[in-house]
Structure 1
């Protein structure tokens, strides 16, 4: 692979379109790809058009990829990948990414690279988050990924994480509410965002009305490593909640005066999707039933009490948890409980979407994919 292609793992001819806003549109037009959809009788675009986009999120716990093409009012995913890699395993104690974790991440990223190549991706954003921000050897890891895998990862700051999550989840805000408290419980950090209710866009998804945000320096991996995740007593659980609450306090003080009954919680993370799956008694996880579902306060409390009463083996045996999450799910519940105690909203909406969807929407907006008239 030559130097020009190394940054993305794509053919050199695709490199400029891969990074540059608008170039992917021009490349698709040159190939004769339709830039605007045909509308069905219902007025909603169902055809795919324009270039092929990819969004990759390398987090502290997961490596996730979405490949998508635009529709009239959003996009349709044509390929996806998700794997728990625990890149940030042990970073709390050592301050470094461990060799086994790096190997797991590299192998997962190779799969993502191949999927992007096979799908003909011409525009992508590839981000890394808290583990790479925090690790002493984060730069060495990024160099290895660039040289061995051919992907050039962008380490984003916490504000970017919050804004991308808001962009990805804004379509799930109840239009009858005054907005939402969005939270994204990650492996190494967690973001909370105060969102107003956005007006529907004429073209494409709604634009988020971001009022305020905070990033907490705690996630499920770091919290479980400090307090333990296999045997979690009520005392340990409360200690986790207290730690998280201390980080939320400054943000909560700035939100005084907002009526929690006029907004709802909007959660995006493995924690909330797991809670929803357990609540729905799914025999296997089903995104179609989870994404966009609602739970009231009593239902969330009931599931968390059930999880806290389970042994590690019982949690691992649950089809919506499994061995990969069994030692992390209660740390996630503690973060969620700290948020619920701070913002006692009556309802929680579950989002099986977030950073990747936010990146896709942002790239498509930058390319004017939903603009009236043919993009230039």
Structure 2
């Protein structure tokens, strides 16, 4: 138990432990949950319990596995990408083995939806790690992104309104259009669109062309033409003109832009999640990033070599969204599908009640232990 307290206190996403109180002791006894989000680019784990406002994070893990590398050209998950991903998933299983979990869920998104061998890979993961991964639909992906941002959607504005949320992923971009009832603390998904393009798919499709004016503008214009159809169906522009819409972005692209806008020397989540990013400032910053070229992006401490190749593709998607739906600010969310999964699991237990949980334990295999990152 002491080890778990130390992890909660030192992990960068964890909430600092306040002085002991009845509420704090009750939260400390609350069941633990774990969620894994296997995306086209990243593999992420979050271990948390219910907190006073949302989640109380105990542990997290993230690794860029690039599962979808080469998928655009081959239609298949590559062997090297699958090996990298299984190594990361073994690390996730080992981490979960440190805790007695009430429940857990693991999901996969666009890369496994699209790849011809996606379900074969899911079966292989089960065989090699014991982890049961569900491949979710684009609709559930949009719903989970909305669930993750519940507190942000409900904490600002009038009693009723609209929320337009975008999540720029590795293989796809999800856009959710929601009706918000802040008095009832609820929101309903009115519509969604899943664009079959993300930071990895655009990087592979366009290569270095994205660093040219013609290449970049062509990508932006192509995405805008797709989004116009979604706008025509849901009359989003009309609602924006009424001042009735909250624009909310969750992805590495938008959090990186927010970090750069704040002048952070290195990325600090505490100043980003829930902050507002000026759209005109973001667009000016994108122009500057495009002028820096690959070498300049690599040297930037907030971006670095791992993200440099994929930042401009994300910026092109971001620019297409704010061109289609011009607003002055976007609310930035450093949270994602893992958060939505955890909140859904916690909410299900709260609604259904029932007996005390039976802890779920994951064995710590010796051949996995060295794979766990500090």
Rounded to whole Å, the distance in 2 between the matches of 1:222 and 1:108 is: 21
Question: Paired residue for 1:209?
Answer: 188
| Counterpart check, 1:184 vs 2:164 | no
Quote the residue 1:160 is aligned against.
140
Q: Separation in 2 of the partners of 1:46 and 1:316? A: 46
Q: Is the 8 A contact 1:58 1:128 kept in 2?
A: yes
| 2:244 alignment partner in structure 1 | 262
- TM superposition shift of 1:223: 1.0
Task: Quote how far apart the aligned CAs of 1:121 are.
Answer: 2.0
Asked if the contact 1:364–1:370 (Cα under 8 Å) also holds between the matched residues in 2, the reply is no
Measured against aligned partners, the alpha-carbon deviations of 1:115-142 in whole angstroms (never above 9, x if no partner) come to 1111222301100000001111112211
Task: Give the corresponding residue for 2:372.
Answer: none
Tell me the secondary structure at the aligned position of residue 60 of structure 2. strand
Q: 1:95 aligns with which of 75, 81, 87?
A: 75
SS at match of 2:101: coil
> Is 1:117 aligned with 2:101?
no
The answer on 1:194 being equivalent to 2:177 is: yes
Contact residue 27 and residue 49 of structure 2 kept, 8 A = no
Alignment-derived partner of residue 313 in structure 2: 331
- Structure 1 residue runs of 4 or more that deviate by more than 6 Å after TM superposition: 373-376
Shift in CA distance, 170/229, structure 1 to aligned 2, threshold 3 Å: farther
What's the RMSD between the two structures over aligned residues?
2.2
Shift of 1:369: 6.7
Q: Which moved more, 1:296-305 or 1:102-111?
A: 296-305
The gaps in structure 2 that reach 5 residues or longer are: 1-20, 358-374
Instruction: State whether residues 167 and 207 of structure 1, in contact with CA within 8 Å, keep that contact through their aligned partners in structure 2.
Output: no
* 1:38 to 2:22 alignment: yes
1:11-43 per-position Cα deviation (integer Å, ceiling 9, x unaligned) = xxxxxxxxxxxxxxxxxxxxxxxxxx9337xxx
> Contact 1:48 / 1:70 at 8 angstroms: preserved in 2?
no
- Residue 242 of structure 1 is matched in structure 2 by 221
Equivalent in the alignment of 1:149: 129
> 1:358 maps to which residue?
340
- Greater alpha carbon shift after TM alignment, 269-278 vs 254-263: 254-263
8 A Cα contact 1:273 1:351, kept in partner: yes
Distance 1:46 1:198 in 2: 30
Is the 2:40–2:110 Cα contact (8 Å) retained in structure 1?
yes
3-state SS, counterpart of residue 309 of structure 2: coil
Match of 2:156 in 1: 175
SS of 1:48's partner is helix
- Give the whole-Å Cα distance in 2 for the aligned partners of 1:48 and 1:230: 52
Q: TM-score, normalised by structure 1?
A: 0.83
Whole-angstrom distance in 1 between the partners of 2:251 and 2:51:
25
The answer to whether 1:62 aligns with 2:38 is no
Alignment of 1:50-89 (within 5 A): 50-89=30-69
- Larger mean CA deviation between 267-276 and 137-146 belongs to 137-146
Matched-pair contact (CA < 8 Å) for 2:165–2:247: yes
Match of residue 341 from structure 1: 323
Give secondary structure in 1 for the equivalent of 2:149: helix
Q: Distance in 2 between matches of 1:344 and 1:111?
A: 42
SS at match of 1:175: coil
Could you tell me which residue of structure 2 aligns to residue 21 of structure 1? none
